[in-house]
Chains A and B, each alone.
Chain A
């Protein structure tokens, strides 16, 4: 009876797994050089950075539950990309209730919509909305503002990927409450 070796199959599987490992288990994972252009800033109407471009480092991870974009400590989380499109975000709010008057002292919502490009980068937009709301108060009021940023990114070599460390050093978001 002729015996067949499974060694070639094992080699092919191992090679595939090794390539996945080198690429961080997903070809889109790794570091990106992101060119961000502040398109609009209603939080700081006189912001001279509007129309300016800034380059920052970001890293993309996949987790067992979805994906994460790490903008030097600002972590935006969402589901896996579908058809190359992905949506990531984060929300954080604080409120204080005094004598039945609910004051939402801050509510920061980050939302990123982007698509992977053919050259392994991604392009999209990032918005940062800040709300301040007072309800059931004598002086009920609502204030909100938004920063809109256009993102264009190129993928860096996975072997030289660095995870951003430290805090966000991104002029647009200074004082943004992340």
Chain B
């Protein structure tokens, strides 16, 4: 195991490529609730790469890079963006919470969106639950070069 660790197959508890299996039936708050009676089944799969930066912070690459630090066996990562103009304000915030247990991850992904334009306002908070299994292949072999 030590040798595998040195080779990068299991470099740290959170680092590596993870297969996220998320519940397609997210929960919504705000103005984005799906129509009444809607349900979804199955699972959505996606790859998420998690790196450890030289300053000790962790970076998860989703559609945007989420950055944060672990607290025990829980890793909380954030990304936010805000644009403001004379009559509008757009803000987006992503939060990924990852609890490490038995070599697997479980947690939630939360996206907060708020758009204000004049007197119109739109808010949406979407929470998606997921579990993740680690790719045991060396992720470096699969990165584009």
Contacts and interface: CB of A to CB of B under 8 A. Distances in A.
Interface of A: 13-14, 17-18, 20-21, 24-26, 29-30, 59, 61-66, 68, 70, 75, 77, 90-98, 107, 158-159, 161-163, 165
A165 B144 contact: yes
A177 B109 CA distance: 23
Contact of A61 (B137, B143, B144): B137
- Does more than half of chain B's interface fall in helix, strand or loop, or is it mixed? mixed
26 contacts: A20-B4, A21-B4, A21-B7, A21-B8, A21-B9, A24-B137, A24-B142, A25-B136, A61-B137, A61-B142, A63-B133, A63-B134, A64-B103, A64-B133, A64-B136, A70-B47, A75-B46, A77-B19, A90-B45, A91-B42, A92-B41, A95-B41, A96-B35, A96-B37, A97-B39, A163-B144
A46 to B, nearest CB: 29
Contacts of A20: 4, 7, 9
Nearest to B17: A61
Contacts of A25: 4, 9, 136-138
A107 B8 CA distance: 39
B37 A68 contact: no
B40 A98 contact: no
A84 to B, nearest CB: 19
A49 to B, nearest CB: 26
Contact of B142 (A59, A62, A97, A98): A59
Interface string B117-143: 000000000000000011111100111
Nearest to B139: A163
Interface of B: 3-4, 7-9, 17, 19, 21, 24, 35-47, 103-104, 133-138, 141-145
Contacts of B45: 68, 75, 77, 90
Contacts of A26: 136-137
A92 B22 CA distance: 11
Contacts of A162: 142, 144-145
Nearest to A30: B141
B136 A62 contact: yes
Contacts of B137: 24-26, 29-30, 61-62
A65 B133 contact: yes
Nearest to A93: B41
Nearest to A16: B3
Nearest to A92: B42
Contact of B143 (A63, A66, A77, A163): A163
Nearest to A165: B144
B42 A158 contact: no
A96 B34 CA distance: 10
B41 A91 contact: yes
B80 to A, nearest CB: 25
